[in-house]
Chains A and B, each alone.
Chain A
Amino acid sequence: MSSTLPDLSNEEIKRYSRHLIMPEVGVDGQRRLKGGSVLCIGAGGLGSPAAMYLAAAGVGRIGIVDFDVVDYSNLQRQIIHGTPDVGRSKLVSAKDRLLALNPHIQVDTYEEALSSENAFRLFEPYDVILDGTDNFPTRYLVNDACVLLGKPNTYGSIFRFEGQASVFGMKKGPCYRCLYPEPPPPGLVPSCAEGGVLGVLPGVIGVIQATEAIKLLTGVGEPLVGRFLLYDALKMRFRELKVPKDPDCPVCGTHPTVTTLIDYEQFCGVRPAAEASVVSVASNGFEITSVELKQRIDKGQPPRIVDVREPNEFQINRIPGAELIPLGELPRRYAELDATEELVVMCKMGGRSAKAADFLRSVGFTRVLNLKGGVLDWVDKVDPSQPKY
């Protein structure tokens, strides 16, 4: 093994001296890092700090899969990107930053959405996969592809002030499906865009993922296999759960039923549900656009507007005259509304309010319209003086 590892140049020896003087890493460990490769799925909150530390540590080849563009709202946590990068491709921005940090490494970028069609091709050349995605279909896809290819998955996931990390996909350890065999129904678990996230949180979790990747490449220490690490930033507390491999796991168990990649959008219930609701909404006239709403207000015939966001979101921007009833409070507060009156429900982007509209219709409301695109569309098209978030 060691003979096939790349040698270190004098410049690299200087750069990595703090690694080299530790016997646990040493010259051979550093050469293993140089000969090693990690594929980061996503250059977002988790991928940013992870990729930067992997680059700084001298991981020889770093791949990044992403197809997004840097936005101002990313900068609160995605520290690989800077203010001048807003509007640039995340891949281009990340590659620039990583090569500035360490010109001795190779950075390969893949501007595509990870899918069942490309996952094997993208994962194949890499030693470790680092899951920093932001949705369930991709998380199950990364899990299954890692198990099927026999590649470790350094997993991290975040929610508001809490994070999780583990290493899945190892022969002796569990996989993500051992822990969560069934994906949650769409919309049940808020994303960072919907639920918010403490900016430093993905820093902590992403760096844990990078630590595990570096340990796997060098063979140092005890990997986070069979252990599910939970981090609570508010309490500043780490907990750990022991998770065994499930012999009945559909992908890594003794009699697997998932032996090739499947349709993960369908598995997570995303596609059929989403398409069906869009079609029914559009064809049944259950939606109103922000421009139409503005015209109604200007004509002096404003419908009653119910904002189903949280109070802190309502503080940032709002539609004049809208009343706040957060989605979670609607089941016990809908009696405050008149079931025969025309209602416009709205949220940030239109997802939560679509759920609110469905709920209201289910309890007998007959004239509910969902504001298409939410308050963000209102700010874009009607009132650009208000901030967006």
Chain B
Amino acid sequence: MRVTVRLFARLREIAGTAELTRTVEAGATVGSLWKDLAREHAALAQYERSISSAVNADYARMDRPLADGDEVAFLPPVSGG
């Protein structure tokens, strides 16, 4: 299955892009997709417990299963004011 990934704030700087597509196996979850990305970009790993995620613009937890064509967003918290 192919999914689109949207990264925000510091995550997009680490990955060098705000949007990418990935092929994932059946049974993949938001969390397994994140782990894939963190393997590609090691600096992402430290954000794992701090990010929130969404699938197709709905807030989603890491155990949420993915479907073909899903758009997955990963958002780190930001605190600037």
Is A240 part of the contact surface with B, judged by Cβ < 8 Å?
A: yes
Is A150 part of the contact surface with B, judged by Cβ < 8 Å?
A: no
CA distance A162 to B58 in the complex (A): 19
User: Given A230-B8, A241-B58, do A189 and B79 touch, yes or no (CB 8 Å)?
Assistant: yes
Closest Cβ of chain A to B19, distance in Å, is 10
Q: Which of B39-81 contact A (CB under 8 A)?
A: 42-43, 46-47, 49-50, 52, 54, 57-59, 73, 75-81
User: Which chain A residues lie closer than 8 Å to B80 at the CB level?
Assistant: 45, 134, 157-160, 191-192, 195, 197, 202
Is A311 part of the contact surface with B, judged by Cβ < 8 Å?
A: no
Is B35 part of the contact surface with A, judged by Cβ < 8 Å?
A: no
Does the CB pair B50–A162 fall under 8 Å?
Answer: no
Does the CB pair A139–B79 fall under 8 Å?
Answer: yes
Is A182 part of the contact surface with B, judged by Cβ < 8 Å?
A: yes
Smallest CB-CB separation from A197: which chain B residue? B80
State how many residues of chain A have any CB contact under 8 Å with chain B. 45
Does the CB pair B59–A202 fall under 8 Å?
Answer: no
Does the CB pair B76–A230 fall under 8 Å?
Answer: no
Is B9 part of the contact surface with A, judged by Cβ < 8 Å?
A: yes
Smallest CB-CB separation from A179: which chain B residue? B52
Closest Cβ of chain B to A290, distance in Å, is 28
Smallest CB-CB separation from A332: which chain B residue? B42
User: Which chain B residues lie closer than 8 Å to A195 at the CB level?
Assistant: 10, 80
User: Which chain A residues lie closer than 8 Å to B50 at the CB level?
Assistant: 180, 182-185, 188-189
Does the CB pair B81–A202 fall under 8 Å?
Answer: yes
User: Which chain A residues lie closer than 8 Å to B75 at the CB level?
Assistant: 164, 230, 241
User: Which chain B residues lie closer than 8 Å to A156 at the CB level?
Assistant: 81
Closest Cβ of chain B to A300, distance in Å, is 39
* Chain B, interface SS category: mixed
Does the CB pair B10–A190 fall under 8 Å?
Answer: yes
Closest Cβ of chain A to B81, distance in Å, is 4
User: Which chain A residues lie closer than 8 Å to B58 at the CB level?
Assistant: 241-242
CA distance A45 to B77 in the complex (A): 18
User: Which chain B residues lie closer than 8 Å to A164 at the CB level?
Assistant: 75, 78
Q: Given A133, A244, A331, which contacts B81 in the complex, CB threshold below 8 Å?
A: A133
Q: Given B8, B18, B73, B79, which contacts A136 in the complex, CB threshold below 8 Å?
A: B79
CA distance A110 to B66 in the complex (A): 49
Does the CB pair B57–A189 fall under 8 Å?
Answer: no
User: Given A182-B50, A184-B76, do A157 and B57 touch, yes or no (CB 8 Å)?
Assistant: no
Is A44 part of the contact surface with B, judged by Cβ < 8 Å?
A: yes
Does the CB pair A162–B79 fall under 8 Å?
Answer: no
Is A328 part of the contact surface with B, judged by Cβ < 8 Å?
A: yes
Does the CB pair B59–A157 fall under 8 Å?
Answer: no
Does the CB pair B81–A132 fall under 8 Å?
Answer: yes
Q: Given A131, A133, A180, which contacts B77 in the complex, CB threshold below 8 Å?
A: A180
Does the CB pair A242–B46 fall under 8 Å?
Answer: no
CA distance A47 to B80 in the complex (A): 12
CA distance A164 to B9 in the complex (A): 10
Does the CB pair A189–B59 fall under 8 Å?
Answer: no
Q: 16 new A-B pairs (CB below 8 Å) besides A134-B81, A189-B50? A: A139-B79, A159-B78, A164-B75, A180-B50, A184-B47, A185-B46, A188-B46, A188-B50, A189-B78, A189-B79, A190-B10, A228-B59, A239-B57, A239-B73, A241-B73, A242-B57
Q: What residues of chain B have their CB less than 8 Å away from a CB belonging to chain A?
A: 8-10, 14, 18, 42-43, 46-47, 49-50, 52, 54, 57-59, 73, 75-81
Q: List 24 A-B contacts (CB under 8 A).
A: A45-B81, A134-B79, A136-B79, A139-B79, A157-B80, A159-B9, A160-B80, A162-B9, A180-B52, A184-B47, A184-B77, A188-B46, A188-B50, A189-B79, A191-B79, A195-B10, A197-B80, A202-B81, A230-B8, A239-B73, A241-B73, A242-B54, A242-B58, A243-B59
CB-based closest 5 A-B pairs: A159-B78, A184-B50, A134-B81, A158-B80, A192-B80
